[in-house]
Amino acid sequence: MKTGSIIGISSMKPCCNILILGRNSSIFGCPLPKSGHFTEYNLSRSQSKLYCLMKKKCFHSNKVLGFRSVVDSNRRVFCGSGSNWGQSRVPSVWAEKNNRFLSVIANVASNTRNHSSSVESRVNENSFEKIYIQSGFNVKPLVIERIEEGQDLVGKDEGTENEHKSKVDDGANASTDQFGKAEVLESTPERHLSDVEKEAWKLLRGAVVNYCGNPVGTVAAADPADKQPLNYDQVFIRDFVPSALAFLLNGEAEIVKNFLLHTLQLQSWEKTVDCYSPGQGLMPASFKVRTVPLDGRVGEFEDVLDPDFGESAIGRVAPVDSGLWWIILLRAYGKLTGDYTLQERVDVQTGIRLILNLCLSDGFDMFPTLLVTDGSCMIDRRMGIHGHPLEIQALFYSALRCAREMLTVNDSTRNLVVAVNNRLSALSFHMREYYWVDMKKINEIYRYKTEEYSTEAINKFNIYPDQIPGWLVDWIPETGGYFIGNLQPAHMDFRFFTLGNLWAIVSSLSTSKQSEGILNLIEEKWDDLVAQMPLKICYPALEHEEWRIITGGDPKNTPWSYHNGGSWPTLLWQFMLACIKMERPELARKAVVLAEKRLSVDHWPEYYDTRYGRFIGKQARLHQTWTIAGYLTSKLLLDKPELASILSWNEDYELLENCVCGLKRGRSKCSRVTAKSQIAV
């Protein structure tokens, strides 16, 4: 139990929800309770809801942020949008103390740099690093740095009008900000857009969500005929990535910057005793901008950012991939805009560290892969992918590589950087060695001995050869191969999962030989994996008893529908990145041509059904934003392949040198040596 984490729950007094440095503190005349133990303030869920409402009044100066926003400890962000826009709703005592407030926060921010998280390195021990957040100081600094520099933070209230200009000739307004003009983008000549592209841009802009008058994301779907949008009217972190890339590649950075900063504010940073609360560092799956009446002001409203960490999501799935996507997008923002100041900010650095700490913390698991529940990624329903699914591992590897580039190295991060490097090294070894299958490997598994008890076992996971599915023996081509979907004791999930395999290529989790192998397999199995609509989310579908047992009889995930072998056009942009990286753009171009024939005519569906992707999905939303954005991003990347290469990674030989067996005392042989053949490029 942390004793110093007394933020929020312990006090309903105004102004105390942000800067509480320890027990018995008092800030701005707000006395804190004597004890810092959460247990003493353990509220029931209904009580804490009530508390949330009261917390609305506990806001800090929205003036300092340059927009009318308040943050409460439940990570809801509020923003007034009343008629008196220019005036602050901040209590006068706050307004008066504004200067002092700023300097106090600045201190907190820099203190946090030194104290908020640290990693205890035990590199020479038989385990990976132990990560911990120092108890008593798990305060996440607020977004303030730029204000002190006299700059706008998350968009501009005024003056944007003049800057409105569109790089693409789509007939719609697009704003560019100061960082939307990276050299690499500026040098690209404007291109004539087809009617389909024009329509796509129009729809993408129509999906933009504003918060306090500034764009902060795109809704998942804006299907005009949809009477029951469920949560498709929310901004999903993973869904926004292709939108963000389309905007960035088009020289529009403001919305992406706003998104990154606002989601950062929503990031969970306090673990409460309520076991249904998200853990520190978790990023929400999605958020919604709600406009609610302003307390005590007739006819005035405020915008509220309301995150969903899975507590409302169907199946209550925890979005493990959100934080990973956030880090990946943060790096892409820097690469495409040239604005590296964003990732250098103290609050952003803290956000990265919180995500990493969550991912790198010790558990019972012995593998370098991340252990997660079913449905913790793009496949957010029960599909038998719990354990160590490929998608999460590939995104995890990508995010670690991003973090390695972006983390500011100082005394407080040095050990974290070591932990990141070790994990990268171990993860790539593990994946390349144990997840990779091709004809030769499957034949090896087919002849495996089982029940081997020794550290030298060949069949380490005790895989029974009978597990090799009938479809695979005929399906696997002579050349090429892929990463399997999951690996557990006595269990290999041999299904082909597209996103994970593509990100393995993009991030160089796979060797270049393996990357080529994956693309060879996709080309060879085009009719199965691309068919009438790129691309299958996984192959093959679970059918009959398998479907009933593994999905729990899910009527949405019937064979060849939705997550169970459905075709998802949003995967196009990731295919494009992988193909360009491997210098095979023609393969992706072929897929774009296929998609182009149908997407607009079919009103941009979320997914397609049937074995060959012939039908619009049974319950597919139309005007699905990441379908639209995925298409646009693919077109932009095809046009500017040099930008695709700055979004991917090459083999990092330093990581290969940093042999993981250094962490495994007592092993006489370097385990890398056994994998040499696969590492060789």
What residue ranges bind ligand GLC (CB under 6 A)?
220, 236, 238-239, 378, 380
Largest CA distance in the chain: 77
The answer to whether the beta carbons of residues 125 and 422 sit under 8 Å apart is no
Amino acid type, 47? Q
Quick check: 307 and 235 in contact, CB under 8 A?
Answer: no
Measured from each CB, the residue nearest to ligand GLC is 220
Measured CA to CA, the distance from residue 596 to residue 590 in angstroms comes to 10
The CB-of-672 to ligand GLC minimum distance in angstroms stands at: 35
- Residue 267 or 322: the one with the smaller Cβ distance to ligand GLC is 322
Name the minimum Å distance from CB 534 to ligand GLC.
17
Query: Which of 239/339 has CB closer to ligand GLC?
Result: 239
**Whole-number minimum distance, CB 239 to ligand GLC, in Å?**
5
Looking at beta carbons only, is 239 or 347 nearer to ligand GLC?
Answer: 239
CB of 236 to ligand GLC, least distance (A): 4
Q: How far is the CB of 200 from ligand GLC (least distance, A)?
A: 17
**Which of 211, 240 has the CB closer to ligand GLC?**
240
Residues 6+ apart with CB under 8 A from 320: 370, 372, 376, 377, 392
* Closer residue to ligand GLC (CB): 249 or 378: 378
Residue whose CB is less far from ligand GLC, 207 or 378: 378
CB of 620 vs ligand GLC, minimal distance in Å: 10
Beta strand segments in 428-489, E: 436-438, 481-488
Q: Which is nearer to ligand GLC, 236 or 494 (CB)?
A: 236
Distance CA 591, CA 339 (A): 33
Q: Cβ closer to ligand GLC: 141 or 242?
A: 242
Contact 223, 310 (CB under 8 A): no
Q: How far is the CB of 220 from ligand GLC (least distance, A)?
A: 4
In the complex, least distance from residue 343 CB atom to ligand GLC, rounded to whole angstroms: 25
CA-to-CA dists, residue 432 to 128, 316, 371, 374, 676, angstroms: 19, 32, 18, 23, 10
Instruction: For residue 26, give Cα distances in angstroms to 16, 17, 23, 39, 380.
Output: 8, 11, 9, 21, 43
Taking CA atoms, 14 is separated from 67, 71, 221, 249, in Å, by 20, 12, 38, 43
**How far lies 614's CA from each of 595, 609, 610, in Å?**
12, 6, 6
* Nearest Cα to Cα of residue 540 among 528, 525, 524, 558: 528
